[in-house]
Amino acid sequence: MREIKFRGKKITDNWWIYGSLEQYPKIQVTYIHQYYPDVPYHIKEEVIPDTVGQFTGLTDKNGKEVYEGDILRYPISGKTYQVVFKDGIFWGEGENGSGCAAHFFPSCEIVGNIHDNHGLIEKGGNNE
């Protein structure tokens, strides 16, 4: 069974934090709860809602966890894909409707994400 967790950028200082998600859409507030194994409590931080992404349950070729919003480079073609959750599955969305199935994520490399690296990709396009 895959681990369900999220990441988001803190409102206060734009640092990425990881944990479970708590949302209040009516008042437009989103929190991520960080849990630590040796601490009997969690830390609740408000995050920027647009930066929240879910963990796919997969890692890239370097063992780095893949989240929604990450930008992956497929080594054979050199094309870049944005990780999205669409029609009930995680998918690498590429240029002109092309795509990359999630089972290819472990052979790809994370080269950034859409929130910190705007220039790496245009709408899931090719960055060659």
Whole-angstrom distance, CA of residue 95 vs CA of residue 84: 13
Burial of 7 (0-12, 13-18, 19+ CB in 10 A): buried
Banded pLDDT at 110 (limits 50, 70, 90): very high
Domain at 54-120, CATH homologous superfamily: YopX-like domains (2.30.30.290)
Banded pLDDT at 37 (limits 50, 70, 90): confident
- The single-letter DSSP state of residue 122 is S
Q: Which pTM does this prediction carry?
A: 0.87
**pLDDT at position 123:** 47
Mean of per-residue pLDDT scores for the chain: 88
Pairing of strands 109-113, 89-93: unpaired
* Mean pLDDT, rounded, for 4-26: 94
**pLDDT at position 20:** 93
- The single-letter DSSP state of residue 107 is G
Whole-angstrom distance, CA of residue 106 vs CA of residue 102: 8
* Mean pLDDT, rounded, for 66-91: 93
The answer to whether residue 27 scores a pLDDT higher than 70 is: yes
DSSP state letters, 42-99:
EEEEEB-GGG-EEEEEEE-TTSPEEETTEEEE-TTT--EEEEEEETTEEEEE-GGG-E
Listed in order, the ranges of the chain carrying CATH 2.30.30.290 are 54-120
